[in-house]
Amino acid sequence: MKMKTTYLLLLFVTMNAAALFAQNKPGQKKILETFLDAQNKPLYPVARVYTPTGYWIFNGALVTASQKLDIRPKAPRVLAGNGSSESGFISTDYDIKGLQKIRVGFIGYKVDNGPFAVEVLVSTDKGKTWKSLGSKPGDPAKVEETIAEFTLDNPSKGSYRVKIANASEPIPNRLNRINITEVQLIYEE
């Protein structure tokens, strides 16, 4: 029985290691931010938020441990624009050298009707100007999170900041909100 358990454990570890290495090329590294250990920010106005990966700027976004309608505690909630205001966003307040890809996990806020989308932008001048890498729609049924992947066209060894904006369509008298579940920043030094 012990040999069978050891074999199953070895098989499990091997399969998980293969899945892990299949996602990133050799030499690539990943910063994974889930915001589970981020400081609380209970209001939408702009502020810096500390996370274990570094400071992030939250504008039109909040992160709290106690919101019942969020997909999970500490999943940042980001507002969509309403025509008179810019869409809410979160962005790194630090540079990532050699950035190649960004993966964003997100889902529509439980009580909002959708449709939901996220846009990713990058900056090479510390956030003064931004270039869009595009937007991706989310699951309209809000059954599971969407993992959206964005790739830089010509990645260089330069440094980038990343902005994740709510690109959902506004609905009358209400802003469509999304929860961000994770951000993966894939880079090569």
Q: What is the pLDDT of residues 97-128, one digit of tens each?
A: 999 999 999 999 888 887 899 999 999 999 99
Count structural domains, the chain. 1
Assess if residue 17 is contained within a domain: no
Assess if residue 166 is contained within a domain: yes
How many percent of the chain have pLDDT more than 90? 58
Assess if residue 14 is contained within a domain: no
pLDDT value, residue 114: 76
**66 vs 139, more confident:** 139
pLDDT value, residue 59: 94
Judged against a pLDDT cut of 70, whether residue 72 lies above it is answered with yes
Judged against a pLDDT cut of 80, whether residue 15 lies above it is answered with no
What is the 3-class SS of the chain, one letter each residue?
A: CHHHHHHHHHHHHHHHHHHHHHHCCCCCEEEEECCCCCCCECCCCCEEEEECCEEEEEECEEECCCCCCCCCCCCCEEECCCCCCCCCEEEECCCEECEEEEEEEEEECCCCCCCCEEEEEEECCCCCCCEEEEEEECCCCCCCCEEEEEECCCCCCCEEEEEEEECCCCECCECCEEEEEEEEEEECC
Assess if residue 12 is contained within a domain: no
Assess if residue 56 is contained within a domain: yes
pLDDT value, residue 184: 98
pLDDT value, residue 110: 86
Assess if residue 164 is contained within a domain: yes
- When the pLDDT of each residue in the chain is averaged and rounded to a whole number, the result is 84
pTM here is 0.83
Assess if residue 20 is contained within a domain: no
Provide the residue range defining the domain that includes 72: 27-187
Q: What is the CATH number of the domain that holds 147?
A: 2.60.120.260
